[in-house]
A and B are shown apart, each in its own frame.
Chain A
Amino acid sequence: MALNTSPVTPPQPQTSGLSAAVNALRTFTNSLGSKGYLFVVGALVLAVGSVLSPYFMTSRNLIAVLITASVVSVLAVGQYLVIVTGGIDLSVGAVAALSSVTVGLALQAGVSWPLALLLALLVAGFVGVFNGLMIIYGGITPFIVTLAMMSIARGVAYILQTGRQVAIDDQGFLSAFTADLGPLPAPVVIAMIVMIVLAVTMSQTRYGRRLFAIGGNPDAARLSGLPIKRDIVGAYFCSSLLAGLGGVMIAAQLTEGSAIIGEGYELNAIAAVVVGGASLFGGTGDPISAVLGGLIIAVILNIMDLLGIQAQPQLIVKGAVILLAVLFTSGVGNKLPGAIRKLVFQKRYTGKGSDLPSEGKEKEKIDAAK
């Protein structure tokens, strides 16, 4: 029993309630690591949602949000792999469309669904390898290569679709990608698996470390003997592959493949990664934060839906969230805790008088100088 603990405990310094609370909050967020602020913001958003709408905290609503967010989460994790190398992949939305049309046409042609899935992923993966090779050996910046590919992939999807509807009625396929697996729907489970696999890859494998190194300093990585060309092509391959998977997931949800799906998804994926705190210069962040970033955006949009806010103001709020997230995680964010710290603790320091003498001396010197 705790017999001899209480007598030796030193008296705790007296702190005001506010500073204690701030301290506790900081200790808590620090213990969550770099994702601390995402959990805090996420909890805040959930709290606001449950206050504003009685329907928000229902499991039906929350699961609907998760399903909506699952496709963007898969795309965001792929996007993250590219962004961590300092690159960007603008083609993911178009690749998702291409993949949805591919899987739909294959199923219509009577191909078994696992084979149709494989075919769609192969097409998507090929696009990614092409992106990577153009960037490495063509010497074209990722922005331009994937911008061009965004147009090409969607164009190919339109041509394959040839104007007709590509309906999907393969029950095996539909249930594999939409049925409930235990308490959670399949798309949510798929997104979670993708997230966990890539999170482990980034933090626990050589490949993940090499991607960080490439984003941190490509010259140093190359001079350390790392195969940076292969790794960069690999990152674009993974991004496209996951975009293809996302396209298949949408196709199952809509029961059709279509060249118009995934419009703007590349920007949603990038937004998720950025809200998750990764720098577009590369070398930072992690896949779980990217997913959390995407979830925060999805929840905010859901709350506005529940409140009956129109789509147009929602766009403005989404943009504002992205800007705020970047402000918070980059330059200003780094200064913010310091500023808060000063505000909260200034009284105690000046009370001790440790800052006063130097301030006084400073004033004297300035006076003397005049």
Chain B
Amino acid sequence: MTAPAEIASRSLIAVAGVSKAYPGTQALSNIDLHIMPGEIHGIAGQNGAGKSTLVRILSGVEKPDSGTVLLDGLPVSFDNPHAAQRARIMTVHQELSLMPHLSVAENIYVGELPRTVLGTVDWRAVRSQAREQLLRLGFDLDVRAPVGSLPIAHRQAVEIAKAVSGDARVLILDEPTATLPRHDVRQLFDLLNQLKKLGIAIIYISHHFDEMYEICDKISVFRDGRRVAVHEADASRHDLILQAMLGGVSTEQSAKLQLGSSETPRLGVGRTTGEVALAVRGLRDGHDLHGIDLTLHRGEVLGVAGLSGNGQSQLAAALFGAEKSTQQSFEINGRKRHTADPAESIRLGLGLLPEERKTQGLALTMSVTENITMASLAKFSPGFFLNRGSEHRAALRMRDALVIKVASVGQPVGNLSGGNQQKVALAKWLVSGVKTLIIVEPTRGVDVGAKLEIYELIRQFVEDGGSVIVITSEIDEALMCDRVLILSRGRISGSVDRAEIDEHGEAAVLNRFN
């Protein structure tokens, strides 16, 4: 046994008794955590478990209500993120914090641009060092390009390069691989292992257990703002970790989540009909989509799979009419689509659950009710006035049916966790009565428990006669669909049907990726 004091003094970074409350929720209660130099410490937990709050405290964004952060065993207090960075605690936040109009190089070195002897910025050095940093990560990017012009996966790389450029002692990664294609994850891990050898303490937050077992030394499990368990990061501890994290979830549910489990949940109900829900031929948007043919049958769950950056979000936007496109023909629920306009798509019975729900799917300052009824206001105002009573009842119905965890449906959506926000975004379409849905990355940034619930809700939607296109970069999600199209560089490069998936499993889809 080691005395707590001794652990605290040897650890590079530690928190002792940290608590933090937000209006209505105790985000963290009495957290203790110690991380040694050269340790990669994973943090697992459902959305709303307090992981992001801990990150915000360690990175100086928030101050704890009580408790201390210890660096080298000495208490420190950060008034702002810059103070944390000066203490060389670098953070890659879940939401990217890059400046889209500045170049890649400027973003990486912002705040500490190398100077020439004259005191002006040494742009040559900025560019060459930025390039070097990115190459260490395995990315060969044009460092003069504005960040806004890069695909999301590359922006993530820039964000990580920025964090490690400043001679970090502590590196905090909040879901670093959420937008990284699998093969780039490998390069990230190589880099993390290098940093580990340099004695940097790394905090690694992720929803991907396989990644954490591979890269982490230990895994702390958070639940409801408490640290409920700590385990060696080893796949053999998976059951224990899952149990600690899920708490009340049944063993049947958690069995489905086990790595390599044969029993994956299905989104489709296998009731595909011959009728066409959505059909498009020769869809182009002039830059990212190069002639896509796609047919969704009624009652079908069609997966569109591909590594991120192959035109997923562009495809969703073009199908929904949010962006202009050209095509030979476009039909939704048996009727021709005349113009690219979301309002027209909705009239024809098509809805879109976008990838970035916070910036595209929801008005965060508005209430749960107001978000749920946003796409069907006409339904709630038969005369001149809104019927706020029936709006409220519809919101309550959705809250109960989808198990949306809210104190009140009058609460702003911005206060909810990712999983609950996704449910509100889904509820909006359920209330509107659309029969066909495009869902992009249905469970991005959603914790394991809520993930299963969302899969179940999609299944329910199909059961009730809906049809769904799931656009995803998660291979597991693609495998749950009735049929899978492979999206590659803006084209459909292959199609895999259910029988092939059942026979060959993951390989059926993976083999088609280039």
Query: Which of A's residues lie within 8 Å of B, judged by CB?
Result: 204-206, 209-210, 212-213, 216-217, 219-227, 283-284, 358-359, 361-362, 365-366, 368-370
Contacts and interface: CB of A to CB of B under 8 A. Distances in A.
B359 A209 contact: no
B209 interface: no
Nearest to B66: A358
Contact of A205 (B67, B322, B385): B385
B381 A359 contact: no
Contacts of A212: 363, 366, 370
Question: Lowest 10 A-B CB distances belong to which pairs?
Answer: A216-B363, A368-B5, A217-B363, A225-B343, A225-B346, A224-B375, A365-B16, A224-B374, A206-B377, A204-B385
B291 interface: no
Nearest to A217: B363
A223 B68 contact: no
A230 B343 CA distance: 13
Contacts, number: 107
Contact of A216 (B70, B347, B354, B364): B364
B352 A365 contact: no
B163 interface: no
A150 B346 CA distance: 39
B30 interface: yes
Contacts of B364: 216-217
B363 A220 contact: yes
Nearest to B75: A366
A365 B74 CA distance: 10
A368 B342 CA distance: 61
Interface in B1-17: 4-5, 8-9, 16-17
B429 to A, nearest CB: 9
A369 B9 contact: yes
A366 B364 CA distance: 39
Interface in B310-358: 320, 322, 342-343, 345-347, 352, 354
B191 interface: no
A338 to B, nearest CB: 9
23 contacts: A205-B384, A205-B386, A206-B381, A209-B374, A217-B360, A217-B362, A217-B364, A217-B366, A220-B362, A221-B363, A222-B322, A223-B322, A223-B342, A223-B354, A223-B361, A224-B375, A226-B374, A283-B365, A362-B68, A369-B8, A369-B16, A369-B68, A370-B73
Contacts of B374: 209, 213, 220-221, 224, 226
Nearest to A358: B66
B71 to A, nearest CB: 10
Interface of B: 4-5, 8-9, 16-17, 19, 30, 66-68, 70, 73-75, 320, 322, 342-343, 345-347, 352, 354, 359-366, 370-371, 374-375, 377-378, 381, 384-386, 388, 428
Contacts of B75: 366, 369
Given A204-B385, A204-B386, A365-B8, A225 B370 contact: no
Given A283-B366, A366-B75, A358 B5 contact: no
A204 B389 CA distance: 11
Contact of B68 (A205, A226, A366): A366
A29 to B, nearest CB: 17
B302 to A, nearest CB: 21
Contacts of B74: 369-370
Contacts of A365: 4-5, 8, 16-17, 68
Contact of A204 (B30, B365, B388): B388
Contacts of B343: 225-227
Contacts of A366: 16, 68, 75
Nearest to A359: B66
Nearest to B377: A206
B366 A216 contact: yes
A339 to B, nearest CB: 14
Contact of A284 (B17, B365, B384, B385): B365
Contacts of A368: 4-5, 8
B326 to A, nearest CB: 21
A16 to B, nearest CB: 24
Contacts of A362: 16-17, 66-68
A216 B366 CA distance: 7
A358 B370 CA distance: 41
Given A204-B385, A358-B30, A210 B359 contact: no
B73 A369 contact: yes
A361 B66 CA distance: 11
Contacts of B362: 217, 220
A343 to B, nearest CB: 16
A213 B363 contact: yes
A219 B365 contact: no
A283 B16 contact: no
B433 to A, nearest CB: 12
Nearest to B3: A368
A224 B381 contact: no
B9 A220 contact: no
Interface centre among A217, A283, A368 (most CB of B within 10 A): A217
A206 B342 contact: no
A365 B64 CA distance: 16
A206 B66 CA distance: 45
Contacts of B354: 223
Given A206-B377, A224-B375, A361 B17 contact: yes
Nearest to A218: B363
Interface centre among B30, B70, B365 (most CB of A within 10 A): B365
Given A213-B363, A217-B366, A359-B66, 19 more contacts: A206-B381, A206-B386, A212-B366, A213-B366, A216-B364, A217-B360, A220-B371, A223-B322, A223-B352, A224-B342, A225-B375, A226-B377, A283-B365, A358-B17, A358-B30, A362-B16, A365-B5, A365-B68, A369-B75
Contacts of A209: 370, 374, 377, 386
Interface centre among B366, B375, B378 (most CB of A within 10 A): B366
B365 A216 contact: yes
A174 B217 CA distance: 84
A208 to B, nearest CB: 8
Nearest to B73: A369
Contacts of B30: 358
A358 B30 CA distance: 9
Contacts of A225: 342-343, 345-347, 375
Interface centre among A206, A221, A223 (most CB of B within 10 A): A223
A205 B361 CA distance: 22
Contacts of B9: 369
A219 B384 CA distance: 26
Nearest to B30: A358
Nearest to A334: B23
A217 B375 contact: no
A204 B377 CA distance: 11
Contact of A219 (B347, B360, B375, B381): B360
A222 B342 CA distance: 7
Nearest to A363: B68
